[in-house]
Structure 1
């Protein structure tokens, strides 16, 4: 055999194969990964089974309602179809003519008709009794009684 000739084929190792020691190390690393992943999955499953389950209740609808005899104009602008101008008119009417004795009294405000009143009714608290708001009467109504 000359020094420049390649080694015989039977002794030649392919470059992409691993030696026995390297194969053993790779198998050990894979086994450790498999065992570690299995332990993690088992512990995670146990954690989930011990978690607290909360029953959720249907949310209650929150209705926006206003007392027309107490609300200021910014609060009244939250009502459907009521802008700043109309809200200010409601407050001015309440100050000049006294409290609204029922919801239909809102029609005395310029700009509120039957259709607007029907849209507002679901958002209005029931009007207070006359005796409850008797102290709120305007000076014109007090002198007339």
Structure 2
């Protein structure tokens, strides 16, 4: 009487293992490529665009390229500019309702009061989380 441990696996069993191994050999490169494609897209999506928006010449659409500036805030910037004339310094933006010191700090790298508007896409800054609460 033979024990199970001394029995030879059937050729059918070996054939199934070979087929599974062949499938895995084909799937692994596909999975790796898919993961690379997904993660490279995420990395590219996290990249922050470069350039500036001249708040003295920008349209409402161009102002919306700025981080956390939507149609309403862009409209208030335009209204302020029309009522008070051109901004002489970036810091004057705090006089616009809806822009405080924190907003100004987020805007500063992307705002100019002279020169051309060179920013061509929306800047999306990551939200800051409150690390003191954790």
State TM-score, norm by structure 2: 0.47
If asked which structure has higher relative contact order (CA below 8 Å, sep 6+), I would say 2
TM-score relative to the length of structure 1 = 0.44
Larger radius of gyration: 1
